[in-house]
Amino acid sequence: MIAQGPGRPIPERLDDLTPAPCPTRAREEDPARVAIRPTPGRSLVTRHAVVDIVRTATLGSYGVTGFAADPLTRVLGFLGLAQPGLTVRIGDRLEVELDLDIALGVPVAEVARQVDSAVRYAIRRALGREIERFVIHVGGLRVQPAGAIPAVSGAPPEAIRPRDLADSGTDVA
């Protein structure tokens, strides 16, 4: 240390700035509390948790703009009494049914395949179960809020109905 003025030394190295280590007791874990390997047993997963997993995987998929529902179901969803466009049945079999709105201008069949893959993967990873029955209904096409409307020959975008999608020959119900 170099002395500077009356009684205030200046440190020569950064090591001199660190405080001396305090004697601490080593932390020991209780072996009974730390799981070494998975314990066999049962887990309880609520329907609400499965709905959250499915909703997150679905809305994270490219081309999905939201869930299709009638106005009454949307109000019930806003109040937290229903999940519009999403039905999950849990029992011996896990069944999922989705009613989706797809972005206008994207391939509907490819979006449906992406949603199917994403939801199945999320359920398999989170729960270790497979979905026995998985149905995707496309309720309509929606223009993205900040997107430009793609050129459609003939009819305006509002004229496309779910029945038109089913008649187009895609593998989406």
Q: What pLDDT digit, counting tens, does each position of 88-111 carry?
A: 999 889 999 999 999 988 999 999
Q: How confident is the model at residue 152, as a pLDDT?
A: 47
- Which residue has 């009638």 as its token pair? 70
Q: What pLDDT digit, counting tens, does each position of 112-165 carry?
A: 999 999 999 999 999 888 999 999 999 888 886 665 555 544 445 555 566 665
Compute the distance between CA of residue 12 and CA of residue 102 in angstroms, rounded to an integer.
67
Please state which of the ranges 24-28, 50-54, 65-69 shows the lowest mean pLDDT: 24-28
- Give the domains, in start order, of the chain with CATH numbers: 47-167 (3.30.70.1350)
Q: Which two tokens stand for residue 33?
A: 């509390």
Residue 114: Cβ within 10 Å count: 18
CB burial of residue 67 (10 Å; 0-12, 13-18, 19+): buried
Q: What pLDDT digit, counting tens, does each position of 54-66 carry?
A: 999 999 999 999 8
